[in-house]
Amino acid sequence: MTAIPDNDNNLDGPMVFIVIGKAYERDGDEEGIDIHVMLRAPDDDTAVRDALNALAEEGFLEADLDQIGTLTDIPDEEPHASAYQGALSGEVAIIKFG
């Protein structure tokens, strides 16, 4: 399946999105956990929806998503390099910090 961008940019490969934010596991949790979610999607709306669904499946009750973007290069360092490869194969990769 080839992703078709919804703008005028030409795309050579699949669109891999990274969504950055903070997720909360408990009600009233003020700290939260910094997260990066990497996934393939045809557009940013679908990427956000799929990221939120994946976070809910992992037990997070709430999430504040701050940034979304597409990755233009394969990340060099772990855990992002593995997460990118997982996203290419259709997985939704959640990277937790802290």
64-91: pLDDT as tens digits:
999 999 999 999 999 999 999 999 999 9
- The three-state secondary structure class of 82 is helix
In a domain, 6, yes or no: no
The answer to whether residue 1 scores a pLDDT higher than 80 is: no
In a domain, 3, yes or no: no
In a domain, 45, yes or no: yes
The answer to whether residue 54 scores a pLDDT higher than 60 is: yes
In a domain, 63, yes or no: yes
How many domains is the chain partitioned into structurally? 1
In a domain, 7, yes or no: no
In a domain, 44, yes or no: yes
Give pTM, 2 decimals.
0.83
Q: Could you give the percent of the chain with pLDDT greater than 70? A: 86
Cβ-count burial 41-68 (b if 16+ within 10 Å, e if not):
beebeebbebbbebbeeeebeebebeeb
26-43: pLDDT as tens digits:
877 788 999 999 999 999
pLDDT at position 60 is 95
Q: Could you give the percent of the chain with pLDDT greater than 90? A: 77
Query: Domain containing 48: what range?
Result: 16-97
